[in-house]
């Protein structure tokens, strides 16, 4: 009795017989329609995210077993926060705020993949992932939130593995997300205005000089690259 495995990434709840899944399963002579249906059933809760899936097929009986992995912590956090991408400048610009219960939820989803020996340690790992995305936790930057966890501020929630928040809390978080989004837009518009003014004033100057002036004016690097892209090296 032989077994062969196929490892693929699929969008939660939206697997199809198209590549990469169909062509990989074809040579194994398994019922691809049944496999796809089972994968979609098991990944439905991960809609909008890429999910690692392993299909193990018994080459004699054609029976199959599907093992579902979990998306990266960053993808789970973005889903909880209701955002499509993290901040381009996470040290300064924040894109969302999460409750400790939402952090615990992600820590439990990724529990087997985290290094921490306790749930408290695992929660701190997930909060660390918030740092690179520009996501606050309980209104605090990641470093401060981890200090609160270490001080057992959220001990009751962590010990109880509490993962649910109220509709009112969800509403307030969404309002805060929208406020942050508007604030980031206004800041970007202002930086873009300042950057374009500098570029116009230095028209005819070397790109290196213009970029240096933009940096000295504390224009964020993504905007500098937008208004004054670096020259490609000549071969």
Question: Could you report the per-residue pLDDT of 105-135, keeping only the tens digit for each?
Answer: 999 988 878 889 999 999 999 999 999 999 9
Domain check: are 213 and 142 in the same one?
no
Whichever domain contains 136, its CATH number is: 1.10.10.250
**Is it the case that residue 220 has pLDDT exceeding 60?**
yes
Q: Provide the domain count of the chain.
A: 3
Q: Return mean pLDDT, the chain.
A: 91
Report the pLDDT averaged over residues 14-27: 90
Asked if residue 9 lies in contact with residue 68, where contact means CB atoms within 8 angstroms, the answer is no
Alpha-carbon separation of residue 160 from 97, 101, 121, 163, 233 (angstroms):
22, 10, 15, 9, 57
Per-residue pLDDT at 209: 94
Domain check: are 126 and 159 in the same one?
yes
Domain check: are 59 and 128 in the same one?
no
Asked if residue 191 lies in contact with residue 220, where contact means CB atoms within 8 angstroms, the answer is yes
Mark which of 119, 140, 165 sits at the end of a domain.
165
When pLDDT is cut at 50, 70 and 90, the band that residue 235 belongs to is: very low
Domain check: are 59 and 97 in the same one?
no
What's the gap between Cα 39 and its chain centre? Answer: 22
* CA gap 35, 155 in Å, rounded: 42
Which range marks the domain in which residue 56 is found?
3-68
Whichever domain contains 58, its CATH number is: 3.30.1550.10
Give the Cβ contact number of residue 100 at 10 Å.
Answer: 22
Mark which of 140, 165, 190 sits at the end of a domain.
165
pTM over 0.75: no
The verdict on residue 234 lying in a domain is no
Listing DSSP states for 62-114 in one string gives --EEEEE----HHHHHHHHHT-SS--SSTTT---EEE-HHHHHHHHHHTGGG-
Asked if residue 141 lies in contact with residue 122, where contact means CB atoms within 8 angstroms, the answer is no
Domain check: are 138 and 201 in the same one?
no
């Amino acid at each position: 009795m032989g077994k062969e495995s196929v490892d693929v990434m699929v969008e939660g709840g939206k697997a199809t017989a198209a590549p990469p899944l169909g062509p990989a399963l074809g040579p194994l002579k398994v019922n691809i329609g049944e496999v796809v249906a089972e994968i979609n059933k098991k990944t439905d809760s991960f809609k909008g995210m890429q999910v690692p899936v392993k299909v193990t097929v018994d080459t004699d009986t054609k029976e199959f077993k599907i093992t579902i992995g979990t998306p990266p912590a960053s993808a789970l956090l973005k889903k909880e926060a209701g955002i499509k991408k993290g901040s381009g400048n996470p040290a300064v610009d924040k894109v969302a705020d999460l409750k400790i219960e939402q952090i615990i939820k992600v820590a439990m989803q990724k529990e087997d993949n985290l290094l921490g020996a306790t749930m408290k340690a695992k929660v701190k790992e997930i909060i660390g992932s918030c740092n690179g995305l520009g996501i606050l936790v309980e209104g605090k930057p990641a470093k401060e939130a981890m200090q609160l966890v270490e001080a057992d501020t959220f001990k009751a929630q962590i010990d109880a593995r509490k993962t649910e928040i109220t509709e009112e809390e969800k509403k307030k978080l969404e309002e805060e997300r929208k406020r942050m989004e508007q604030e980031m837009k206004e800041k970007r518009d202002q930086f873009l205005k300042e950057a374009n003014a500098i570029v116009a004033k230095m028209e005819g100057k070397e790109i290196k000089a213009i970029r240096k002036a933009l940096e000295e004016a504390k224009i964020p690097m993504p905007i500098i690259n937008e208004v004054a892209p670096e020259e490609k090296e000549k071969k």
